[in-house]
Structure 1
Amino acid sequence: MNTTEIFLIAMAVIFTVPYLVWRLGGTDYWAPLVVVQIIMGIVLGPGVLGRAFPDYYHFVFNPAVVQSLNGVAWWAVMLFVWIAGIELDLKKAWAHRVESGITAGLALGTPLIAGSGAALALLGGGWMGARAETWQFVLGVGMSCAVTALPILILLMEKLDILRQPLGQRILRYASLDDIAIWGVLALILMDWQRVGRQGLFLVLFALATWGLRRLMLRLPAADRWFVSLIWLALVSFGADWSGLHFMVGAFLAGAVMDAEWFDQAQLDLLRHHVLMVLMPVFFLSTGLRTNWEMGGYAVFGVAGLLLAVSVGGKLLGLEIAGRLLRWAPGEARIIGWLLQTKALIMIIFANVLLDKQIITSETFTALLLMAVGSTMLTVPVVAPMLRPMMGLVKRAG
């Protein structure tokens, strides 16, 4: 078979296996399709399929096919992060800046401190990447424990029927503020002092280009805005990568300086849905291909369990403190905390960048990936029973 035919076999596997597991296994309550796709990406990787059936694995996922899949995955994740940047609603956060600032700060800061403590415990054990400074590794793992996956949070709140309720809108404000902090910290971690001049030049050009883009977009017809936006996404991502930052940082910046009001909301929602359905499964598979179990499954699972514990515990503690300071109703902090600890996708993207820059090892990446899956699978089963007796609070919490 030629490379094209094997590539199409790989694509068929990527879409068929997760769908059958999700549909026939009835996993939707505790593991939506997107979570199953992430898990199947791990299963189809070298640690499971590659170990059980090495000949088939190396036939389907040969270097030429993997290179092609990676190209699709890069564009998929750029689109996804760009949409997440567009959907940030900072106007509402500013209108409630005191309450939002306190909550978002504690929701991010407490698990960041707890995760950084766990990272310190991992120093010297082969978990830190070859090109990492100690502070980069500690801060990177700590921030991985603090991340909230805003796009997946939206999907889960839709499932729980609270997205359009006042409580759901508050949670989106908190997650939006934390999203900005997450990418800001990532940019700090990736700062290359040997190329600081190039990075400074990129930021200056980006600021000037943003001013021009915002003026241009107001003059363009609605249909043209989509095409110009995609050109903008590619150029900013290239500039960020050229300067020493990662192209995913550029993709987020490209979206963050754009206004959701420039686009039809229904079309934007549909684009996010289609990117998740059509392209992101390839990213999940390419992520799974990067997992590594060479330290032994027990060690990787043990570190994943540690990171999950400090991540969830830190998030719940931070929200409990916020609830006491802001005098929330009993039980409200736990609901918000469990929703904000959702990790999948954004944390996986974050960890991919850390792995690309050799700040973490592939074993640490695998542990972080398992932690992200575990945190997301916990969300709906834990939150749904807490919501039932509190729907009155959900509808009146403003």
Structure 2
Amino acid sequence: MHTAMSTTEIFLLAMLLIFSIPYLIWRLGRTDYWAPLVVVQIITGILLGPGVMGAAFPDYYAFVFNPTVIQTLNGIAWWAVMIFVMIAGIELDLVAAWEHRRESTITAGMALGTPLLFGCVAAFGMLAYDGWIGPKGMTWQFILGVGMACAVTALPILILLMEKLEVLRQPIGQRILRYASLDDVAIWGVLALILLDWTRVGRQIGFLISFAIAAWLLRKLMRAIPERDRWYVGLIWLAICGFAADWAGLHFMVGAFLAGAVMDAHWFDQAEMDLMRHHVLLAIMPVFFLSTGLKTNWAVGGTAVFIAAAVLLVASVSGKMIGVHIAGKVLKWGKGEASIIGWLLQTKALIMIIFANILLDKGIITNETFTALLLMAIASTMLTVPVVSPRLRAMKEIIFRSQ
């Protein structure tokens, strides 16, 4: 029967697995409180990957996820995550962050800097063992990359979780978005530094100069055209920026973020943007989660990977919480406020996974390190709602505190 199936049929069989299994687990298992659908999709991607299904059913795994199917899935995944990252760039609210620059800078700086430091220490410890640093990674790239992965806040997932907790449009939600927006800019800036290629530095400088000019022209164009045309023009702009950034030796994801960052959120209807994010998550992002799961590896040894994930989780969560509590002391926040903000800002999932994917693609980390980071991101995100929800119920007045 296998030999009689066409590539199209095998591809559709893979799509059936990608969409049906996580939905059934999420809906029948009623996991939403502990693990939203997006987290279940990431976990399912790991289960369908070589470390679990590939080990249990190697022949079936090789049949369904053959090189042709994987190549097709990767193309869909690249475009899905580019759109998602562009939306995250559009939603950056740097104007609001500037209006509250002292509070935003102190909080964002401590929320990013402390887990970055803790993560760098953990990465330095990992270097004492073989199998963690990638074949093309330099020591400083590995340490900074893993450290930044521990410091990341996933702005799109943070938005989804705050919607679930009904605080997104409240003053505390808007404050947290300001902090996360500044951290987002820093994260992509550090990634660009890690990916800086001195053999192609001229090309990269040329890209940045050309991008600045093109962005200025785009902004004039977007103001001139009706709103119904802006999404279409935005997608064309996304493809241009992704191609140019990859050609320059950065990464198409850096281009995707820059494509969104130079566009203003008020150019788009907020409800439509929320729907766009929802539809991307619904229709094509599950393919990215599966392609992510296909990169997981336990070759160093399952125990070692889980130990590394646990160490990174401790570094990530404790670093974020300590940093935000320091900011709360400086800014004289009320009791319990720093704890709620810190737990929300330690949400990882998508952006960390995208960040780690780029490090893996560039050979800076190995599949084993990627797997440990992925497990850390899943655990970090699953902790958020169960920890924050009861605290919000107990301290409702914090929701309405604007600073």
Q: Under a length normalisation based on structure 1, what TM-score does the superposition of the two structures give? A: 0.99
Partner of 1:78: 82
Structure 2 counterpart of 1:61, one-letter code: F
Matches within 5 A, 1:212-251: 212-251=217-256
Across the aligned residues of Structure 1 and Structure 2, the Cα RMSD in angstroms comes to 0.7
Deviations 1:259-279 (Å, cap 9, x if unpaired)? Answer: 111111111111000001101
Partner of 1:166: 171
Matches within 5 A, 1:222-371: 222-371=227-376
Aligned to 1:163, the other structure's residue is in SS state coil
Deviations 1:230-289 (Å, cap 9, x if unpaired)? Answer: 110000100000000000000000000001111111111110000011010000000000
Q: Does 1:40 align with 2:53?
A: no
Structure 2 counterpart of 1:177, one-letter code: L
Deviations 1:357-394 (Å, cap 9, x if unpaired)? Answer: 00000000000000000000000011111111100121
Q: Larger deviation: 218-227 or 59-68?
A: 218-227
How many residues align? The count is: 398
| CA deviation after TM superposition for structure 1 residue 162, in Å | 1.0
Structure 1 counterpart of 2:94, one-letter code: L
Partner of 2:18: 14
Q: Does 1:96 align with 2:82?
A: no
| CA deviation after TM superposition for structure 1 residue 148, in Å | 0.3
Structure 2 counterpart of 1:105, one-letter code: G
Identity of aligned residues (%): 72
Equivalent in 108, 111, 114 of residue 107 of structure 1? 111
Partner of 1:127: 132
**2: CA distance, partners of 1:355 / 1:2:** 31
| CA deviation after TM superposition for structure 1 residue 88, in Å | 0.4
Q: Does 1:147 align with 2:134?
A: no
**2: CA distance, partners of 1:396 / 1:329:** 10
Runs of 4+ displaced beyond 4 Å:
none
**1: CA distance, partners of 2:118 / 2:401:** 33
Q: Larger deviation: 340-349 or 126-135?
A: 126-135
**What are structure 1's unaligned runs of at least 5 residues?**
none
**1: CA distance, partners of 2:169 / 2:159:** 10
Q: Under a length normalisation based on structure 2, what TM-score does the superposition of the two structures give? A: 0.98
**2: CA distance, partners of 1:383 / 1:108:** 20
Q: Does 1:189 align with 2:189?
A: no
Structure 1 counterpart of 2:328, one-letter code: G
**1: CA distance, partners of 2:402 / 2:114:** 24
Deviations 1:102-151 (Å, cap 9, x if unpaired)? Answer: 00000000000000000000114220111111110000000000000011
**What are structure 2's unaligned runs of at least 5 residues?**
none
Aligned to 1:27, the other structure's residue is in SS state coil
Structure 2 counterpart of 1:8, one-letter code: L
**1: CA distance, partners of 2:359 / 2:204:** 18
| CA deviation after TM superposition for structure 1 residue 397, in Å | 3.8
Structure 2 counterpart of 1:327, one-letter code: K
